[in-house]
Amino acid sequence: MRRKASLVLLALAVFCAAMSPLTRWYAFPRLAKIPPGQYQETVLEAKNPTLIDYSSMRAEKVDKVTIVQTLKGNVEASEEIEKSADRDVVVWDALSYVQDSDGKMVSKVPERYIFDAHSQEPVHATGESVDGDPVRRQGIEFKWPFLTEQRDYEYFDAQARVTRPIHYKGTRTFRGVHVYYFEQTIPWTKVPFPKTMPVKGITPKSLAKTGTTRWYTTVRKFWVEPTTGAPVYGEEIQRNELRGGTLLGGRDKVTVFAGHVKMREDYIESTVDLVTSQRVLVLLLTSYLPWGFLGLGLLLLALSLWLEARGRRQDGPGPTATTGPEPEPVTA
């Protein structure tokens, strides 16, 4: 009976030992994915920034500028791309909507971001764009990979349409969450005008005829929870300028926007809560279950060997049988 029990325990030990690497290296890449229909909204604010008044073409201080960023998963588009991509794909239709302190639109820039649901690597397909212009992204945008590493990454800047390194600057604690801090600097770069302008009649084409160009620089900061790869907080110190041309009335440059953009407090709290809950699910596949299976397998193996050893001791050899009388000793 003990022999059967030990064999059953041994089989269970082998099963648990096999499940440990399978959970980490097989199940995790297939189960830890961004859902294709995800919707997310983030509000950022710049208090007391400098903003251009297009009616006078002069920069002035305002109370605040609000940036509403929305990410909406396009399930139909992702399913269509998956047919040829041979992997799980997420399509985010993003919109960055900027308004002044009076609620008037300053600019709005749509994007379509297509990426691998697990690794967050860009997937190049028809429709990949920024403000209606086709782009070919390199590097990440919006989100880091699951199990973010302590190293630099390539990060795509939508305004400049370029990819530049975003540098790992160390570990920190943000609102009780262990995070990695990343920072990226985009030097002054000539960028296109938004296709939707706040003043009727002014278009990128009409601005191009004046010879005036738009330039942009920013310092981008992210606090990233490494298990999920999700930023729990972000900031930008950004400047935009108009340079040259007849539109400025002989001036060399005019500030379009200059300010320190930060995530609004209520969105910080909701983001931290969401990331904390998602972190447990990722740890379940990468740590808790693999190590749990391995520990259980070793325990079952030890119990199996103990039962086997105990059974052998109790089934030891009995007394030796004899067939006749013992021989008498011979004496001289």
String of DSSP letters for 227-282: TTTEEEEEEEEEEEEEESSGGGTT-SEEEEEEEEEEE-HHHHHHHHHHHHHHHHHH
Pair 194, 131: CB distance under 8 Å = yes
Q: Is 180 helix (H, G, I), strand (E, B) or coil?
A: strand
Q: What distance lies between CA 216 and its chain's CA centroid? A: 25
pLDDT number for residue 4: 76
Chain-centre distance of CA 306, in angstroms? 47
- Name the stretches of the chain with pLDDT < 50: 321, 332
Q: With beta carbons less than 8 A apart as the criterion, state whether 220 and 184 touch.
A: yes
User: What is this structure's pTM?
Assistant: 0.87
Nearest by Cα to 274 from 40, 31, 24: 40
Q: Judging by beta carbons within 10 Å of its beta carbon (0-12, 13-18, 19+), is residue 181 exposed, middle or buried? A: middle
What pLDDT does 332 receive?
A: 43
The CB density around residue 123, as the number of other CB atoms within 10 Å, is 21
Rounded CA separation 182/224 (Å): 8
Q: How many CB atoms lie within 10 A of CB 156?
A: 22
Q: Whose CA is closest to 133, among 112, 154, 157, 118?
A: 112
For residue 208, the cross-strand partners are none
What angle, 0 to 180 degrees and rounded to 10, lies between the N-to-C axes of helices 289-314 and 2-22? 160
What are the beta bridge partners of residue 219? 185, 237
